[in-house]
């Protein structure tokens, strides 16, 4: 696949996932009734982390090729700091938005950061200190500390992915298998927990890195076994879909997502294989050309994630108040339209705005 096509498809998929994440965090959303989590044991989080690993490997390899390994390693150490700053900004947005809604009387919305606001009121310095040390991660900011840790690990992960992929895969699986036992060692305030256990979710990130660095899919899919593997994946997907619709009790436990349990991994891998088939057939490229605005969101990934958290919390809180928490199709669809349009506007306006400000300050 030519390199330019690959980037177009990657941007499209990342943008699509970011849009899905926004509507998935709106409780009364209508579109979220048709997204991945409704039909599978995994959701957009797995796709987001996997694509993050893939994009990271792509950027690292490009830097190493244009400059050297040292430049690539240094870039991702700086990236970890950028993500940490993004976490602080997102945490601040969650607190400010929550405080504003509480002050306006929207104090029944379920996803406002009530516990964090209470802690901030009773012990402001300790609460701010806890946020700085990742001991407290306000609603929707919780995925970013995990990403910062992954960025720090890139200088170790990428060389292994290129030269010793089986060693990296084995180490990643072993760490994932013991993740629940390692969870208590993560820094956390007394009333808090990490929504995403990084010891577990690193498996998704590493899978993305390995997919980019090692042509396993290309070799299998183009061999005589390719159609058989795809048929088996499709059959397994149908079985998992029926199991999801029947309601597996374990899938309702908080730890099921927090520790990335095996059923989520299997379901994601099956879906990823079938999506890769569609990409190889050219469907992702066609969709990216038909809907270029989705790729714009994908190219501004970190910015759009931060903006998406604020948009979804605001829209979710307003919608909940307007509907008393009940499902309302017209209002739910309107909320979806507002949230998607707002995120698209952020992605569209950001680039030109930065250029204008750069011209004025130069």
**Which has the closest alpha carbon to 90: 349, 304, 326?**
304
| Contact of 214 with 165, CB cutoff 8 Å | yes
Three-class SS state of 192: coil
pLDDT at 255: 86
Distance CA 181, CA 303 (A): 33
137 secondary structure, DSSP code: -
pLDDT at 95: 97
Q: Residue 355's pLDDT is what?
A: 59
Name the residue with tokens 């048929």: 231
Whole-prediction pTM? 0.93
Which whole-number Å values give the CA distances from 281 to 56, 173, 287, in the listed order?
24, 31, 12
Q: How much is the pLDDT for 5?
A: 43
Q: What is the SS3 assignment for 224-292?
A: CCHHHHHHHHHHHHHHHHHHHHHCCHHHHCHHHHHCCCHHHHHHHHHHHHHHHHHHHCCHHHHHHHHCH
pLDDT for residue 1: 38
CA separation, residue 133 to residues 189, 339, 340 (Å): 10, 31, 32
Per-block average pLDDT, block size 10, for the chain (362 residues)? 60 96 96 95 96 95 90 93 97 97 90 94 95 95 96 96 97 97 93 93 98 94 95 97 85 85 96 96 93 94 95 97 94 98 93 56 50
pLDDT at position 354: 54
3-state helix, strand, coil in the chain (%, to 5): 80, 0, 20
């Amino acid at each position: 696949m030519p390199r330019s096509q690959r980037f177009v498809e990657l941007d499209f998929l990342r943008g699509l996932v970011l849009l899905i994440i926004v509507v998935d965090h709106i409780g009364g959303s209508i579109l979220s009734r048709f997204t991945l989590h409704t039909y599978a044991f995994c959701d957009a989080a797995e796709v987001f982390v996997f694509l993050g690993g893939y994009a990271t490997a792509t950027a690292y390899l490009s830097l190493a090729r244009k400059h050297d390994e040292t430049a690539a390693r240094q870039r991702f150490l700086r990236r970890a700091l950028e993500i940490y700053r993004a976490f602080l900004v997102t945490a601040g947005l969650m607190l400010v938005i929550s405080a504003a809604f509480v002050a306006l009387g929207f104090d029944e919305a379920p996803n406002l950061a009530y516990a964090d606001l209470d802690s901030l009121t009773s012990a402001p310095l300790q609460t701010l200190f806890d946020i700085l040390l990742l001991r407290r991660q306000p609603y929707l900011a919780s995925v970013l500390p995990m990403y910062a840790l992954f960025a720090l690990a890139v200088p170790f992960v990428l060389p292994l992915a290129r030269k010793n992929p089986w060693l990296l895969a084995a180490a990643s699986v072993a760490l994932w298998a013991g993740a629940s036992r390692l969870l208590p060692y993560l820094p956390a305030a007394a009333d808090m927990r990490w929504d995403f256990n990084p010891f577990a979710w690193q498996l998704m990130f590493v899978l993305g890195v390995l997919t980019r660095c090692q042509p396993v899919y290309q070799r299998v899919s183009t061999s005589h076994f390719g159609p058989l593997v795809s048929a088996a994946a499709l059959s397994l997907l149908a079985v998992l879909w029926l199991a999801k619709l029947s309601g597996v009790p374990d899938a309702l436990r908080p730890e099921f997502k927090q520790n990335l349990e095996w059923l989520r991994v299997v379901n994601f891998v099956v879906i990823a294989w079938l999506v890769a088939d569609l990409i190889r057939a050219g469907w992702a490229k066609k969709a990216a050309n038909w809907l270029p605005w989705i790729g714009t969101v994908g190219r501004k990934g970190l910015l759009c994630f931060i903006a998406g958290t604020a948009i979804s919390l605001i829209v979710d809180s307003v919608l909940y108040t307007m509907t008393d928490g009940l499902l309302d199709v017209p209002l739910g669809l309107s909320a979806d339209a507002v949230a998607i349009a707002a995120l698209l506007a952020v992605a569209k306006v950001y680039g030109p705005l930065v250029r204008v400000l750069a011209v004025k300050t130069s």
